[in-house]
Amino acid sequence: MEFREIASTRRSVRSFSSQPVEEEKLSRILAVMNSAPSAGNLQAFEVCVVRDAARRKALSEAALSQGFLAAAPVVLVFCANKIRSATRYGERGEELYACQDATIACTYAMLAAADEGLATTWVGAFDDDAVYRIIGSPEGLRPVAMLPLGYAAENPGVTSRRRLLELVRFL
């Protein structure tokens, strides 16, 4: 798909079919994710690919019982690697860049998934500590976003956006 079409037609999907995600598609999505820019090219993030059903269920409970996380065949958990960024950029790396690195990687993955005909929803509402325990993250990693991945079992309507003039200032 052309980029503009992906950007304008992608929608958050919160109902997934049980159809598995093909390994080749997942590999291509992860490869696109790995081309995302990052501060100092440090790529101060890590991603967990969660296929295990029990872990997906636990993640959905950690995400305020958002059940669609358990229904999606794959959940990607993006974590900021604060220590990696802090090593070069100190507090700004720890507080800002690591989080930005993880979220732009998630954005690339989300758009790549749409290009593969797969559905996602960016999930930011979760209990950090619970997610931390489920994925067994080492110290210094902070989960910042989860991305359930699968085939859509619904066709969500168009979502509205603020008018450009409300949010863009030309100076």
Ligand X SMILES: Cc1cc2nc3c(=O)[nH]c(=O)nc-3n(C[C@H](O)[C@H](O)[C@H](O)COP(=O)(O)O)c2cc1C
- Closer to ligand X by Cβ: residue 40 or 116: 116
- Closer to ligand X by Cβ: residue 90 or 156: 156
Q: Under the criterion CB under 6 A, does residue 66 sit at the interface with ligand X?
A: yes
Q: Under the criterion CB under 6 A, does residue 167 sit at the interface with ligand X?
A: no
Q: Under the criterion CB under 6 A, does residue 122 sit at the interface with ligand X?
A: yes
Q: Which of 125, 164, 167, 171 binds ligand X (CB under 6 A)?
A: 125
Q: Which of 2, 35, 159, 170 binds ligand X (CB under 6 A)?
A: 159
- Closer to ligand X by Cβ: residue 1 or 27: 1
Scanning residues 138 to 157, which ones bind ligand X (CB under 6 A)?
A: 156
- Judge contact between 1 and 85, C-beta under 8 A: no
Q: Under the criterion CB under 6 A, does residue 12 sit at the interface with ligand X?
A: yes
d(CA 147, CA 32): 15
Q: List residues binding ligand X (CB under 6 A).
A: 11-12, 14, 66, 121-125, 156, 159
